[in-house]
Amino acid sequence: MIGAVATQTVEIPDRRAVAESRLREASTMTLRTAPAALSSAEATSLIRRIAETQDRGAFAALFAYYFPRVKAYMLRVGASPAGAEEFAQEALLRVWRKADSFDPRAAAASTWIFVIARNLRIDRLRGERNIDGFERDPSEEPDAPPSGEAIAIMNERRSRLHAALAALPAEQAHIIELFYFEEHPQSEIARMLGVPLGTVKSRVRLAVQRLRAELEDLGS
74 and 111 both lie in a single domain? yes
- The pLDDT assigned to 186 comes to 85
Over the Cα atoms of the chain, what is R_g?
A: 22
Exposed, middle or buried: residue 155 (CB in 10 Å: 0-12, 13-18, 19+)? exposed
- The pLDDT assigned to 93 comes to 92
Other CB atoms within 10 Å distance of the CB of residue 191:
14
Find the helix or strand (DSSP H, E) in which 160 lies. Answer: helix 148-167
Q: Which amino acid is at 12?
A: I
Give residues with Cβ within 8 angstroms of 112, minimum separation 6.
102
188 within some domain: yes
- The pLDDT assigned to 91 comes to 92
Give the end of a domain, one of 136, 165, 197: 136
Q: Which amino acid is at 179?
A: F
pLDDT along the chain (220 residues), means of 10: 43 49 53 64 92 91 90 86 90 92 84 88 73 46 50 63 78 81 80 88 88 69
117 and 68 both lie in a single domain? yes
- The pLDDT assigned to 194 comes to 87
- The pLDDT assigned to 34 comes to 57
Q: What CA–CA distance (Å, rounded) separates 203 from 171?
A: 8
* Full-model pTM: 0.52
- The pLDDT assigned to 192 comes to 82
Number of domains in the chain: 2
- The pLDDT assigned to 158 comes to 66
Give the end of a domain, one of 106, 136, 166: 136
Q: What CA–CA distance (Å, rounded) separates 163 from 88?
A: 30
Find the helix or strand (DSSP H, E) in which 66 lies. Answer: helix 56-76
